[in-house]
Amino acid sequence: MRLLVVEDDPRAAKQLVADLEELGHETMVAADGRAAIAAVTEGKFEAVLLDVMLPYVDGVGVAKLLRERDIDVPIIMLTALADLDQRLTGLDAGADDYLIKPAAPAEIDARLRAIVRRAARSGDSGIMRVGDIEVNEIKYRATRADRQLVLPKLEFQVLCELVRNANSIVTRQMFYQNVWKYDFEPATNIIESYIRHLRLHLNNPGETDPIVTVRGVGYMITDKR
């Protein structure tokens, strides 16, 4: 992906760029709000990683300005504090997602893929497919190889989150944020337990398990096994 990293601390920017390039992204750095607006207005970026604390125009201001100019490039805000107000102002200003610094490269990568996918998909019918699995989010229905799956609500939502991001990783944080609506991370293995139960419901004997565990990061559903 072609990314714009907006970060005023050169050391943090350098590390972020190195991490992102290692993950195969092409990056450019803007060191302040004004430079970021200019870069986005001129260049073609698939997504913007936007620090909140910036000189001249802060991250919230940048997001607001870009949205006012009808530039709908996906934006992920990076905030230093787990401050609810800051998160909400960021999202209100037009950011698509937020992450608390320091964010792991794998987490950033997963979020990027999720929001770019979300931006590309429009006119949603609620039906999503991966391999022989089909979920209808609106009608609360899931099938595997045309076999009806009877799933409790949370398991269904976990499956939807996986299928929505098929072939890319859904991190633990993403699960908590999007399925459980928690803005904190529980100490127990809630997700592991749910994935285990989901696998029991999803996989008949002899069927391959489409859910891949990515150790220390999250899970991925794939049709490439």
Partner 1 sequence: MMRPRSLRAIMTIYVIVFLVALVAVRIVSHRIDSDALRRQVDRRLASEASAISGGGGISRKEMIERIEAAQNNHDTADLFYMLVDKSGQRIAGELRLKRLPQPGYSDFGDDAEVEGVAHGRALARPVGGGDTLVVVSDNDVIEDFDRMLLRVQLVGLGITALIVIGGAIGIMMVIGGRMRAMQRTVDAVMEGDLRSRVPLDGSRSEFDQQAAAFNRMLDRIDELMANIKHAAKDVTHELKSPLARLRARLAAIARRSEGEPIGADIADVLEQTDQIIDLFGSLLRLWEIEGGHRRERFADVEMSDLVRDVGQALLHVSEDDAHPLQLDILDGLSVRGDPNLLRQMLVNLVENAIRHTPADTRILVSVERRGHSVAVSVADDGPGIPADQNNKVIRRFGRLEAEGKPAGQGLGLTLVDAIARLHDGTLVLEDAGPGLRAVVVLPLLR
C-alpha triplet 175, 9, 82: angle, nearest 5°: 35
Nearest to partner 1 of 192, 223 (CB atom): 192
Q: How far apart are CA 118 and CA 111, in angstroms?
A: 10
- In three-state secondary structure terms, 3 is strand
Q: How far apart are CA 49 and CA 102, in angstroms?
A: 13
Nearest to partner 1 of 47, 202 (CB atom): 202
CA atoms 185, 186, 188, 192: torsion sign: negative
Please report the beta strands in the chain, taking only residues with DSSP state E, as ranges in sequence order.
2-6, 26-30, 47-51, 75-79, 97-100, 127-130, 133-136, 141-144, 147-148, 170-171, 211-214, 218-221
Nearest to partner 1 of 83, 207 (CB atom): 83
CB of 137 to partner 1, least distance (A): 19
CB of 180 to partner 1, least distance (A): 6
CB of 202 to partner 1, least distance (A): 15
CB atoms within 10 A of CB 105: 17
The 8-class DSSP code of residue 102 comes to S
Q: Which amino acid is at 206?
A: G
CB of 2 to partner 1, least distance (A): 29
Nearest to partner 1 of 35, 211 (CB atom): 211
CB of 87 to partner 1, least distance (A): 11
Nearest to partner 1 of 130, 169 (CB atom): 169
Nearest to partner 1 of 27, 177 (CB atom): 177
Q: How far apart are CA 132 and CA 108, in angstroms?
A: 29
CB of 107 to partner 1, least distance (A): 12
Positions that interact with partner 1 (CB under 8 A): 81-85, 100, 102, 152-154, 180-190, 192-194, 196-197
